[in-house]
Amino acid sequence: MPYESRIPKNPNFDDLVSQLKKYCSPTDIDLARLVYDFAEKAHQGQYRKSGGLYITHPIATAQLLANMKIDINIIAAALLHDVPEDTNVTLEEIEKNFGQDIATMIKGITKLGKLKYRGVERYIENLRKMFVAMAEDIRVMIIKFADRVHNLSTIEALPIKKRFRIALESLEIYAPIANRLGMGEFKSLLEDLSFPYVNPKEYEKVRQTRKSLLSEREIYLKKIMKVISDELTDTGIKLISVHGREKSLYSFYQKILRKGWENIDKIYDIVAIRIIVNDMGDCYASLGIIHKLWRPLTGRIKDYISQPKPNGYKSIHTTVFCVEGKIVEFQIRDQKMHEEAEYGIAAHWHYDEKGSRLPAKDIMWAKELADIQKNIVEKLSDMDELKVDFFKNRIFVFTPQGDVIDLPEDATPIDFAYHIHTDIGNRCNGAKVNDQLISLDTPLKSGDVVDIIVDKNRKGPSQDWIKSAKTHLAKSRIKTSLKNEKSSWLKIILPKK
């Protein structure tokens, strides 16, 4: 589904109520009405740069979240999120009227303030604020993503320079954080809405290319979807849906940059067929049926159910030689996996069709991520290091004992060793990956089992390792060890005074 159709065109409260009625209780609807009346009165007389009433923005923000069937308190905070910043109403008044939980979220959003993207120092300061907000209450970031998506959809009303700044900040800060939190829906929206303002020429070229490729494949894919739907149903698999998933424009562009324009015919997932079934067992049964019908491409089966991505993403991907020898990618998951893939961390505040909230799972991983990164970001000053540590695609590799280690793409055994322990890194003398000896500068891949060979007699790291290491953690520990080694050596050779 193209991103334009996911964003409210003419936000109004009645449409929001219609969406809330699909999953909320009458009491929840009453709360939403009270909050809306309060927010509308607070924003009375205020207009957006695009010309509409200001209240349409918080309504649109709330609607984007209501599409996820999200907790009513988050909807309430979304409706009120700009009140303390842009009106005379105080946070204390909000708390008095609507309680501490809603007020706490709004306080977190207000703390983020009107962030500006001006150079690396402000970039890092913005990140620090965001990780603090995440660590305190992840719901703040969920609201902030919806807020930013709607602002990007109306960005045309702003001056050219401001458009570029907001779009660049969205691409470089907001979208990668959404990705780390597993929020695929918001990640794609943030990227595709920003892309035309950051790189308009490439955007238009990619848009036309994708449009041409999609029109060629549309009829063919409908035929394949009919074949697989009939086959799965006949086999007794409870099928929830089979639909085409278009690769987002910015994601398509990133893949073109990696593969080159001349290899565009080798991008097989411009449209993937997504199969949603009843449970995990049906996921694997569906995979078997697809492979019975069509031959899979070697090395293109990815089981993210048994080995989820570091951000929690679960699905099975397989690419096959389909009818007429054409190559098609299938993605198979159950309904719960699908919701978590689209909404990520926000799925913990999602309601099911009966109107009851799904049991909240352990979300400590996200809070721990925020805490760790909040502390590291304060020590960073180099833009490239920052982008590698925070925003590069992540891989997961294993220790020989089966522990999962989350690293940035292209990380090496040196990064792995220092991630385990500084002493392991300093005394690292080699590495085995999947029982094969490899050089220490070899990039690791998801699923690798890494065994570090330690030399107890080794005094410290080599100067060359700084070039091979990719993470800030490894580089900083190598530099510290080299500095300490140099200090010790100087103490030996220099006479005492």
CA 250, 305, 138, 473 torsion-angle sign: negative
Residue with tokens 């220490």: 440
Task: Work out the widest C-alpha separation in the chain, in whole angstroms.
Answer: 89
- Tokens matching residue 353: 């069709």
Using DSSP, state whether 417 is helix, strand or coil.
helix
With a CB cutoff of 8 Å and minimum separation 6, the contacts of 352 are 23, 69, 358
Using DSSP, state whether 244 is helix, strand or coil.
strand
Residues acting as catalytic residues: 85-86
Burial 416-429 (b: 16+ CB within 10 A, else e): bbbbeebeebbbbe
Task: Compute φ and ψ for 321, nearest 5 degrees.
Answer: -80, 110
137 sits in the region (left: phi over 0; alpha: psi -120 to 50; else beta) called beta
Sequence letter at residue 325: G
- Tokens matching residue 222: 């409908």
Neighbours of 208 (CB within 10 A): 10
334 membership: H or E segment, kind and range: strand 327-334
d(CA 37, CA 42): 9
Could you tell me which of 84, 127, 87, 128 has the C-alpha nearest to residue 105?
A: 84
- Tokens matching residue 235: 């086999």
Rounded to the nearest 5 degrees, what angle is found at the Cα of 393, between the Cα atoms of 348 and 466? 130
